[in-house]
């Protein structure tokens, strides 16, 4: 097994290997590794290609004296050390929604906005190893075209005119590699067309300039692969930024992108967003376009990944969805449902002033760590003070849901993963997930797959019935409006230690939309505690090996400075309602914070 930390060190160093890449352009073709080359050779050449593209713009590189050594764990403010005041204004004081308005009003040019984000992205790469494909010059050419168009016509090209947009590595971008974290795909997967979502982004006026790291196999909540190595969490580099969209979360947290494109089949948007203190949305599969992705198991439809945004504000999540559906993707991707975006719902139409939120404190498999329970308690109190109703969500079959979705991940017994990685040793989290392959590693036959699909539909009916039945427990006369839940049982975990996805994969199995939102960062030195005994019965001894591992993992110092986040879950195809209700939840938290109680900037642990 390769040493992840050694890979990371190698990926950050300036390589001595040469490529045929021109220093003045990011369009030249690199010299590909021979097909039979060892994986270390392919990795070194891929890293050299990336470094050459960074070196073509030395003005954006982190100055040598500013490079933090390995003992510096929190690098979240490093971009403020080198960017100009105007660059900082662009990347830290504007979310994507504000940026597109500023660009429309010509407060900034598209070129200067992109240069600011290229500068921040270069720094982010140096300290977290978050980028894969880099095409700054291509982006600058497009930004200049957009500036000329606005100057000559007075009109923007589209609703994202001039907005820099980062793209997860396995999403196809024409002319660029789509290695997807696999050594065997590196240099061999240059796309001849854009993914549907990427095509829409271009038509809407977005400017593409980087692709971001994802893990080997994609089926991982830790971003690490043998091509580029490990991606680090900018708030504490001993911790994971999550996966599989971990490159996006690290980049956006360091202001290297205003918004990025991720995908989620078990938590791969929500967990990276949570671990970086950002907003993320996993929508319903049938609404958002997802054609044009590269990954294992193309053609499998027992469980599908949802495409969605990671951003710095809730309104940016809505901006992304509005733009995606404005371009009617169902006309070119037939499985999608024709459901235009309803912005009026986000703005409150049809959403009751008094909500009833159900809180999932504990899924019955792994109890969350204290800071997460603290966040749930504080959010509950804020909702009650704001006049909303809160009840407990009684968990239904969470262990069963994991066992079922794992069958769907590995209908072929994991054979495609093993074959693709034949000369690509598994990194630790790949090794862990492949150890979860059911059915003794054998493929399911057709009759088995039919049965699994029936189990999936029966499970969905059971959970929907359970949700409907909550009307007998609410004071509103209707079932609960949303479920408030942890995103994971831990804050951003130490590298290679993720052991339970159940708080996110459960909702993938239901195909329910879920939005992640931040609530500050964890400060272990804060000794306040909250009593949650009224909400949570004692667990006693760990209920299973996963809970034992995670409970023994708890040490406040381990998670110093880690972001704290929660997720809000709604019914299928109700993305607008989820975002509209999220606004109500955040309004309640703001009111509570203003009154001196409720949501603090830094949460403490609770005493259990």
Express each pLDDT in 551-575 by its tens digit. 999 999 999 999 999 999 999 999 9
pLDDT for 414? 97
**Residues in contact with 441: Cβ distance below 8 Å, sequence separation at least 6, in sequence order:** 413, 414
397, 545: one domain = yes
Do 552 and 422 fall into the same domain?
Answer: yes
Same domain, 283 and 166: yes
Q: Are residues 74 and 203 in the same domain?
A: yes
Q: Which of 59-63, 417-421, 529-533 has the lowest mean pLDDT?
A: 529-533
> What does pLDDT average to over the chain?
92
- State residue 14's pLDDT score: 30
Is residue 405 domain-shared with residue 308, that is, in the same domain? no
- At 4 the pLDDT is 36
The yes-or-no answer on residue 268 being catalytic is yes
Catalytic annotation, pick one of 244, 249, 284, 296: 244
Tell which of 321, 344, 375 closes a domain.
321
Q: State residue 540's pLDDT score.
A: 84
Q: How confident is the model at residue 521 (pLDDT cuts 50, 70, 90)?
A: very high
On whether residue 292 sits in a domain, the answer given is yes
pLDDT of residue 529: 57
Q: Out of 321, 339, 373, pick the residue that ends a domain.
A: 321
Instruction: Note whether 361 and 277 are same-domain residues.
Output: no
Other residues' Cβ atoms within 10 Å of the Cβ of residue 330:
17
**Whether residues 485 and 568 fall in one domain:** yes
Q: Same domain, yes or no, for 533 and 454?
A: yes
Burial class (CB in 10 A: 0-12, 13-18, 19+), 385: middle
Contacts of 505 (CB under 8 A, 6+ apart): 266, 267, 401, 402, 405
Q: What is the pLDDT of residues 586-603, one digit of tens each?
A: 999 999 998 754 434 443
Assess whether pLDDT exceeds 90 at residue 67.
Answer: yes
Q: What CATH number does residue 531 fall under? A: 3.90.1300.10
| Residue 311 belongs to some domain of the structure | yes
Q: 102 and 244: one domain?
A: yes
Residue 233 lies in a domain: yes
Q: Cα dihedral angle (235, 238, 242, 244), rounded to 10 degrees?
A: 120
Distances (CA, A) of 470 to 400, 474, 534: 21, 7, 20
Are 285 and 416 part of one and the same domain?
no
76 catalytically annotated: no
Q: Is residue 25 part of a domain?
A: no
What pLDDT score was predicted for residue 31? Answer: 52
Catalytic option among 240, 257, 268, 479: 268
The answer to whether residues 148 and 225 belong to one domain is yes
User: Which residues form the domain of 124?
Assistant: 47-321
Number of domains in the chain: 2
Q: In terms of domains, do 383 and 428 share one?
A: yes
Q: Is 244 a catalytic residue?
A: yes
Residue 379, domain member (yes or no): yes
The model carries a pTM of 0.93
Report pLDDT digits (tens) over 38-51: 999 999 999 999 99
Residue 340 lies in a domain: no
> What is the share, in percent, of the chain residues with pLDDT greater than 70?
90
Q: Which among 168, 172, 380, 560 is annotated as catalytic? A: 168
Model confidence over 263-307: pLDDT tens digits? 999 999 999 999 999 999 999 999 999 999 999 988 889 999 999
Q: What are phi and psi of 261, to 5 degrees?
A: -100, 120
**Who's near 354: CB < 8 A, 6+ residues apart?**
387, 388, 389, 476
Q: Is the peptide bond before 244 cis (omega within 30 degrees of 0)?
A: yes
Residue 333 lies in a domain: no
Q: Domain boundary at 266, 299, 321, which?
A: 321
Alpha helices per DSSP H over 35-106: 39-55, 85-92, 96-104
- Detail the residues annotated as belonging to a binding site for substrate: 218, 244, 265-268
pLDDT digits (tens, 9 = 90+) for 9-37: 333 333 332 233 333 345 444 456 665 78
Q: Is residue 284 part of a domain?
A: yes
Average pLDDT over residues 336-365: 97
């Amino acid at each position: 097994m390769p040493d992840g930390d050694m890979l990371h060190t190698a990926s950050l160093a300036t390589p001595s290997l040469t490529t045929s890449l021109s220093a003045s352009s990011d369009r030249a073709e690199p010299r590909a590794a021979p097909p039979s080359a060892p994986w270390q050779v392919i990795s070194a050449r891929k890293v050299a290609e990336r470094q050459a593209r960074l070196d073509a713009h030395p003005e954006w590189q982190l100055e040598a004296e500013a490079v933090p050594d390995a003992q510096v764990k929190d690098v979240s403010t490093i971009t403020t050390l080198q960017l100009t005041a105007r660059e900082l204004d662009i990347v830290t004081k504007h979310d994507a929604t504000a940026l597109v308005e500023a660009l429309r009003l010509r407060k900034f040019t598209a070129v200067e906005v992109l240069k600011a984000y290229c500068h921040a992205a270069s720094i982010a790469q140096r300290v977290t190893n978050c980028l894969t494909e880099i095409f700054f010059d291509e982006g600058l050419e497009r930004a200049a075209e957009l500036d000329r168009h606005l100057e000559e016509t007075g009109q923007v090209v589209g609703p994202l005119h001039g907005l820099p947009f980062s793209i997860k590595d396995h999403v196809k971008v024409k002319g660029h590699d789509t290695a997807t974290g696999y050594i065997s795909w590196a240099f061999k997967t240059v796309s001849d067309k854009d993914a549907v979502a990427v095509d829409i982004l271009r038509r809407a006026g977005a400017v593409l300039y980087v692709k971001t790291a994802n893990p080997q196999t994609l089926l991982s909540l830790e971003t690490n692969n043998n091509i580029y190595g490990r991606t680090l969490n900018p708030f504490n580099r001993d911790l994971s930024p999550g996966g599989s969209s971990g490159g996006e979360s690290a980049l956006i947290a360091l202001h290297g992108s205003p918004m990025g494109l991720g995908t989620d089949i078990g938590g791969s948007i929500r967990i990276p967003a949570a671990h970086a203190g950002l907003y993320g949305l996993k929508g319903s599969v049938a609404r958002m376009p997802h054609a044009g992705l590269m990954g294992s198991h193309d053609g499998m439809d027992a469980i599908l990944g949802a495409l969605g945004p990671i951003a710095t504000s809730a309104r940016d999540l809505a901006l992304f969805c509005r733009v995606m559906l404005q371009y009617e993707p169902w006309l070119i991707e037939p499985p999608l449902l024709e459901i235009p975006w309803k912005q009026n719902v986000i703005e409150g139409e049809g959403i009751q002033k008094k909500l009833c939120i159900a809180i999932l404190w504990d899924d019955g498999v792994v109890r969350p760590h204290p800071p997460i329970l603290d966040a749930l308690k504080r959010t509950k109190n804020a909702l009650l003070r704001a006049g909303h109703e809160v009840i407990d969500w009684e968990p239904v079959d969470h262990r069963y849901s994991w066992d079922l979705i794992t069958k769907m991940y590995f209908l072929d017994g994991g054979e495609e993963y093993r074959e693709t990685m034949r000369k690509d040793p598994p990194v630790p989290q790949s090794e862990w997930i492949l150890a979860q392959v059911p059915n003794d590693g054998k493929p399911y036959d057709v009759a088995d797959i039919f049965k699994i699909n029936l189990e999936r539909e029966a499970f969905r009916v059971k959970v929907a019935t359970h949700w409907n039945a909550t009307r007998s427990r609410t004071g509103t006369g209707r079932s609960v409006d949303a479920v408030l839940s942890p995103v994971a049982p831990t804050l951003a975990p130490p590298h290679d230690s993720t052991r339970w996805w159940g708080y996110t994969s459960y909702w993938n199995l239901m195909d329910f939309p879920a939005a992640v939102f931040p609530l500050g960062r964890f400060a272990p030195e804060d000794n306040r505690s909250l009593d949650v005994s009224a909400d949570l019965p004692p667990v006693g001894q760990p209920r299973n090996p996963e809970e034992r591992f995670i409970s023994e993992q708890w040490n406040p110092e381990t998670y110093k400075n880690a972001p704290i986040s929660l997720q809000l879950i709604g019914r299928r195809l109700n993305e607008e309602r989820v975002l509209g209700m999220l606004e109500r939840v955040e309004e309640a938290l703001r009111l509570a914070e203003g009154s001196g109680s409720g949501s603090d900037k830094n949460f403490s642990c609770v005493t259990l």
